[in-house]
Structures are given as structure tokens and as C-alpha cells.
């Protein structure tokens, strides 16, 4: 079971003992799992994301030609609506629909990768409510990043330098609707995996889902089956030993995981963890990706090097260049690992 961390002590500015404890727990969760539950009850009311799912339901319920009005192809291929089975993973059509939104850009140009405009459903209240969610998730991103900085023992100046790399996040919000019609129950092998094993690219992912269980699986490398709830899941990823554990939704919590930028910042101390999603039943999922600024120069942090007592090994990247290399050349960007999936 992944750790559950309450965000409440991080919300105030004062350096209390409880805050320090929370930062230490964040640090060990990132060292050990790269994944944790974040209880955000003190930050947002549970009715808010439930309202988002209801709006999503209104949109996905519309006739297909209505939904196609905001199709990916109208824009830069990344922003907008992907219809059912538009994507293919491991030779099987994905059984989900979705809408992707990215940070708006200055001088949008839909012929440039990722540089188009967001396309909002015409469902009343949709844009406003999701807009509020984006703002809240951006604030949450800064709050958690600040806590992680403290957990790493960063100085005020070091935090300031990191803050400047993330204060204009090139965020992404994805809305996923899995529809399970006429699918057989999932056999205990890889069949049915709807979003193949991958690591997230950026900084922090905050995943809200409806209460549907047994969808998200997280790979614990090195874990022996006795240590984990394996629920009959496949036990190998590539040649690496480990187990897939299931991260079921917990009321009041989002699932939070770190992306590959943290791998670079911490010089490999924190590792972005493999995860995948499996079809089980109809399901709304809203991952929010809190990412570095597009022009952020991401390089190993002194605080991490102090802990490791070793020189920097990870190659610095400009976040936007890294992102373009991953998704820019491939607008069918949800094809599993190596396929340019976000
Ligand atoms: O829906 C989920 O559980 C996670 C989706 C995901 O991993 C992703 O979009 O990167
Ligand atoms: Fe992911």
C-alpha cells in the first residue's frame, strides 16, 4: 500500500514541526515509491472533482458529431478530443475517449507541435469549472514542490532557483473516459491494458478518479511478492524483477507520482516509477500534470548531490525540448512507451 500524505500541514507558511514531518515523509515516499496518495481534503472539497466528472459525463454523452467539433485534428493534434478507439496500444484499439488541455501559449499556431489552442466543450459551466481546477492544481503543484524542496534540505536560495523553473508550469490536464461495453473480464495477463507501462515525463502528476477500483497499477521494482498485494498481476516488466501493485482510489485523495524531471533534479535519487492502467469498468479519470516551465533548465540540484555525496551524473535538459522530443513528432501520442505518450 502506497503512503498517504495529508497536504494540510503544507498549506500554511509557518515552519511547524508537523510541516517538517510531512516534508520528511514526502522525501521517503519519493525515495521508496515515487508514488503516494495526497489527501487534499483540506485544500479542495470532494464535491468539486465530482462535479467535474458530472460535466465530463455530459460531454461524453453527446452525439459523436457534437464531440467531433473539438477533435484533435482541428488543432495541433495534441489539444482536444480523441474519440473512442482513435488510439491503438499493443495492437488493440484503446477503449477510451478523452480530451487534453495544455497551458495556453502566446501566439498560438496549430501547425506547430503543441502550439495550438485548447478546445473547450460547449457544455455549460465546463470551461469555468475545469479552469478553476487547473488553477487549484497549479497551486497544489507549487505547495507540494515547496514541501519536497524542504524534504531534500534545500536552502532558501536553492528553493528560489527551483521555484523559477516551475512558476509558469507547462501543465497538461487530461480527461479520460473508459467505456466498457461487451469487453470480457480481464484475464490475468497483459490483455486489457489500456494505457501501457510508462513513466510520466515531467514533475508531478495529480490523478483524480471516480471510485472505480483496480485500474491503476504501479510497478514496484525489487519488491518480493510477499511484500505486496499482487492481486494476481503480472510480476515482470522487461527483465526487471518486481510486482505490480494496484493503487485504488481513496476518498479525499489524489494519487501523486513524480516524473522524469525529478530523476534529473535528484541525480537519480528519486525515480519516476512505471505505471499502467487496465480496463475494468466505466471510469472517469482526470490526471493533471504539473510540469516545469517550458524553458526550464533542469539539472541536478545541489541539495540532492549533498545527500548522495557524488558528482552530477544526469544530463541537464531544457524541459520544452525534452517534451518536444517525446511528443512533438508524434501526434498519435498515446501509443504506450516509446510511442510518444505524454
Ligand atoms: O489514468 C490513470 O490512472 C493514469 C493515466 C496516466 O498514467 C497518464 O495519463 O500518464
Ligand atoms: Fe502516467
pLDDT digits over 122-172, tens only? Answer: 999 999 999 999 999 999 999 999 999 999 999 999 999 999 999 999 999
More confident residue, 117 or 221: 117
Q: What angle do CA 317, 323, 329 make, to 5 degrees?
A: 125
For residue 206, how far is its CA from the centre of ligand 2 (angstroms)? 10
Cα–ligand 1 centroid distance for 21 (angstroms) = 29
Instruction: Check if 138 has its Cβ closer than 6 Å to any atom of ligand 1.
Output: no
What is the distance in A from the centroid of ligand 1 to the CA of 314? 25
114 in contact with ligand 1, CB cutoff 6 A: no
Give the whole-angstrom CA distance, residue 82 versus residue 98.
5
Q: Is the pLDDT of residue 312 over 90?
A: yes
What angle is formed at CA 79 by the lines to CA 78 and CA 81, rounded to 5 degrees? Answer: 100
Give the single-character DSSP code of 169.
B
Query: Which residue lies with its CA nearest to atom 1 of ligand 1?
Result: 285
Q: Which of 235, 305, 307, 289 is nearest to 78 (CA)?
A: 289
Average pLDDT value for residue range 263-274: 96
Residue 89: its pLDDT value, please?
52
Can you name the CATH fold of 4-328? Jelly Rolls (2.60.120)
**275 C-alpha vs ligand 1 centroid, how far in Å?**
8
d(CA 342, CA 213): 23
pLDDT band at 223 (very low <50, low <70, confident <90, very high): low
In sequence order, the 6+-apart residues with CB closer than 8 A to the CB of 79 are 72, 100, 101, 102, 114, 116, 117, 118, 119
285 ligand 1 Cβ < 6 A? yes
Ligand closest to 277 (CA) is 1
pLDDT digits (tens, 9 = 90+) for 25-62: 999 999 999 999 999 999 999 999 999 999 999 999 99
Domain ranges of the chain: 4-328
Number of neighbouring beta carbons within 10 Å of residue 153 = 15
Q: Tell me, yes or no, if the pTM score tops 0.80.
A: yes
Amino acid at each position: 500500500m502506497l503512503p498517504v500524505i495529508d497536504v494540510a500541514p503544507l498549506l500554511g507558511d509557518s515552519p511547524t514541526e508537523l510541516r517538517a514531518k510531512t516534508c520528511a515523509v514526502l522525501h521517503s515516499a519519493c525515495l521508496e515509491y515515487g508514488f503516494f496518495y495526497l489527501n487534499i481534503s483540506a485544500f479542495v472539497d470532494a464535491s468539486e472533482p465530482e462535479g467535474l466528472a458530472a460535466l465530463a459525463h455530459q460531454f461524453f454523452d453527446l452525439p459523436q458529431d457534437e464531440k467531433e467539433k473539438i477533435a484533435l485534428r482541428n488543432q495541433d493534434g495534441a489539444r482536444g478530443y480523441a474519440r473512442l478507439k482513435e488510439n491503438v496500444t499493443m495492437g488493440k484499439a484503446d477503449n477510451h475517449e478523452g480530451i487534453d488541455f495544455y497551458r495556453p501559449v502566446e501566439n498560438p499556431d496549430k501547425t506547430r507541435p503543441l502550439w495550438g489552442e485548447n478546445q473547450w466543450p460547449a457544455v455549460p459551466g465546463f470551461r469555468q469549472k475545469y479552469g478553476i481546477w487547473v488553477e487549484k492544481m497549479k497551486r497544489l503543484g507549487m505547495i507540494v514542490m515547496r514541501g519536497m524542496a524542504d524534504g531534500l534540505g534545500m536552502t532558501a536560495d536553492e528553493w528560489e532557483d527551483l521555484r523559477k523553473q516551475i512558476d509558469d508550469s507547462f501543465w497538461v490536464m487530461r480527461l479520460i473516459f473508459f467505456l466498457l461495453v461487451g469487453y470480457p473480464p480481464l484475464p490475468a495477463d497483459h490483455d486489457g491494458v489500456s494505457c501501457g507501462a510508462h513513466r510520466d515525463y515531467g514533475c508531478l502528476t495529480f490523478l483524480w478518479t471516480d471510485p472505480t477500483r483496480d485500474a491503476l497499477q504501479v510497478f514496484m521494482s525489487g519488491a518480493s511478492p510477499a511484500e505486496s498485494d499482487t492481486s494476481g498481476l503480472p510480476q515482470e516488466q522487461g527483465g526487471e524483477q518486481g510486482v505490480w501493485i494496484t493503487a485504488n482510489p481513496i476518498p479525499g485523495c489524489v494519487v501523486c507520482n513524480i516524473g522524469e524531471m525529478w530523476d534529473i533534479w535528484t541525480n537519480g535519487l528519486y525515480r519516476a516509477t512505471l505505471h499502467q492502467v487496465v480496463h475494468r469498468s466505466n471510469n472517469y479519470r482526470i490526471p493533471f500534470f504539473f510540469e516545469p516551465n517550458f524553458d526550464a533548465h533542469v539539472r541536478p540540484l545541489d541539495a540532492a548531490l549533498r545527500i548522495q555525496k557524488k558528482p552530477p551524473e544526469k544530463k541537464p535538459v531544457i524541459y520544452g525540448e525534452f517534451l518536444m522530443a517525446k511528443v512533438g513528432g508524434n501526434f498519435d501520442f498515446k501509443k504506450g512507451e516509446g510511442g510518444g505518450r505524454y
